[in-house]
Amino acid sequence: MHIRVYGVQADELAAYEKAEGKYGFTFEFAEAPLNEDTVDQVHNCDGIILVTTCNVTEKVVKELSERGVKYLATRSAGSDHVDYDAVVKYGLHCANVPFYAPEAIAEHTILMALWVLRHGKKSYEMVKSGDFTMKGLKGRQLGQLTAGVLGTGRIGRTTMTLLNGFGTKVLGWDPYPNAAAEKLGTYVSKEELFAQSDIVFLHCPLTDDSYHLICDETLALMKPGAVLVNTARGGLVDHAAVLKALESGKLSGFAFDVYENEAEFVRKKLPVDQISDPVFKALFQREDTAYSAHVAFYTDGAINSMIEVTLDNLKEYETTGQCRNEIKVEGGAV
């Protein structure tokens, strides 16, 4: 199988070189993400390895099908960057990596939460300017707060476990509660979670039902001075509504590793003043926010796992025409 790989970093090339012998694959590497403007660069490929900066619309899927591509494998758990109805329509298959080192994302989630709670950005800027006082730096202890975790899958449960270590009171909500999470916190309704939590963590997949889960209405349910942390998917949050909540004091902090319109700048070198999105720039520049550029997953262990499972998925497709990690959507498998 010849595979075109998107989003590969220089330090990952050795893993693909080893894979050529182990899997019998050959690879080519693309610099620009796959989208409607770059799909014409795909030639003579059986499979495609995707990352979340790719935008696989129906037009892209149709052209891939016409160019002989059979299999898509996204190197992520999230899958909202692929039009799965189109994948089914044009007879392709697509698999994901359902889980990979959930500790990586959970650890980064706690890091960002603490950075906001302890005024990390303000403290850094003060010291950088020669101000070694403590003015405005009194923080809050995570262990003295109530935390709400929206989404109690593997990553959400790992974050709950870390919160337990701090002594935090943990609440959880998920449309599909599970016994493992019940041991780590108390399930409540979504409305109760917003009302009772001092800090809210998002670990949900992005679906039609969860799009803009955080909006004016849900922000209104939160405690005055609550903190919001999102290391899941940018589309879960109406960022304009969050900006208003920060400006009014309804939220006292916002930490985010993902942004709804991040394709303009993520994985690129671009000065902030050249980014066209005014909401992102306003959020980025505030003292009460923390932003990282979609790197919560980015550890050596997680990357090795993602690459291995992705290649296993493609090998399984090549061998059997099916894959245990084929993504399921309403109406059939994709």
Q: Per residue in 165-176, pLDDT tens?
A: 999 999 999 999
Each residue's pLDDT tens digit, 78-100: 888 999 999 999 999 999 998 77
> Do 75 and 205 fall within a single domain?
no
> Do 60 and 194 fall within a single domain?
no
CA 143-144-147 angle, to 5 degrees, is 75
> Do 113 and 249 fall within a single domain?
yes
> Is there a contact between 145 and 136 (Cβ–Cβ < 8 Å)?
no
Each residue's pLDDT tens digit, 248-287: 999 999 999 999 999 899 989 999 999 999 999 999 999 9
* Two structure tokens written together for 262: 């991040």
Q: What is the pLDDT of residue 126?
A: 97
Query: Where does the pLDDT of residue 238 fall: very low under 50, low under 70, confident under 90, or very high at 90 and above?
Result: very high
Least confident of 43-57, 71-85, 156-170: 71-85
Helices (H), the chain: 13-23, 58-66, 84-89, 102-117, 120-128, 154-166, 179-182, 190-196, 216-221, 239-248, 278-285, 300-320
Query: Where does the pLDDT of residue 292 fall: very low under 50, low under 70, confident under 90, or very high at 90 and above?
Result: very high
Q: How many helices (H) and strands (E) does the chain have?
A: 12, 14
> Do 35 and 137 fall within a single domain?
no
Cα–Cα distance for residue pair 226/65, rounded to 1 Å: 47
Number of domains in the chain: 2
Collapsed DSSP state (helix, strand, coil) of residue 89: helix
Question: Where in the sequence is the domain holding 47, given as residue range(s)?
Answer: 2-100+299-333
Q: Which residues carry out catalysis?
A: 233, 262, 294
CA 186-191-196 angle, to 5 degrees, is 60
> Do 166 and 206 fall within a single domain?
yes
| Mean local confidence (pLDDT), 18-40 | 94
Q: For residue 43, is pLDDT > 90? A: yes
Q: Which residue, 333, 300, 259, 332, is CA-closest to 100?
A: 300
Q: What is the DSSP string of 239-279?
A: HHHHHHHHHHTSEEEEEES--TTGGGTTTS---GGG---HH
> Do 91 and 125 fall within a single domain?
no
**246-255: b (≥16 Cβ within 10 Å) or e:** beeebbbbbb
Q: What is the pLDDT of residue 141?
A: 98
Cα–Cα distance for residue pair 96/206, rounded to 1 Å: 14
Q: Which residue, 82, 9, 52, is CA-closest to 294?
A: 52
> Do 127 and 268 fall within a single domain?
yes
CATH label of the domain that carries residue 213? 3.40.50.720
> Do 130 and 182 fall within a single domain?
yes
> Do 285 and 247 fall within a single domain?
yes
Q: What is the pLDDT of residue 173?
A: 98
> Do 236 and 272 fall within a single domain?
yes
Q: For residue 328, is pLDDT > 80? A: no
Q: What is the pLDDT of residue 212?
A: 98
Phi, psi of 131 (to 5 degrees): -100, 105
Q: For residue 327, is pLDDT > 90? A: no
71-74 and 93-95 beta bridge pairing: parallel
> Do 223 and 310 fall within a single domain?
no
Q: What is the pLDDT of residue 334?
A: 29
Cα–Cα distance for residue pair 241/15, rounded to 1 Å: 42
| Mean local confidence (pLDDT), 29-47 | 95
Q: Which residue has the tokens 């012998």?
A: 21
Q: For residue 37, is pLDDT > 80? A: yes
Q: How far is CA 184 from the centre of its chain?
A: 22
Q: For residue 331, is pLDDT > 50? A: no
Q: What is the pLDDT of residue 231?
A: 97
* Two structure tokens written together for 58: 């129906």
Which pTM value belongs to this model?
Answer: 0.86
Q: What is the pLDDT of residue 330?
A: 43
328-329 and 332-333 beta bridge pairing: antiparallel
Q: What is the pLDDT of residue 329?
A: 56
> Do 165 and 313 fall within a single domain?
no
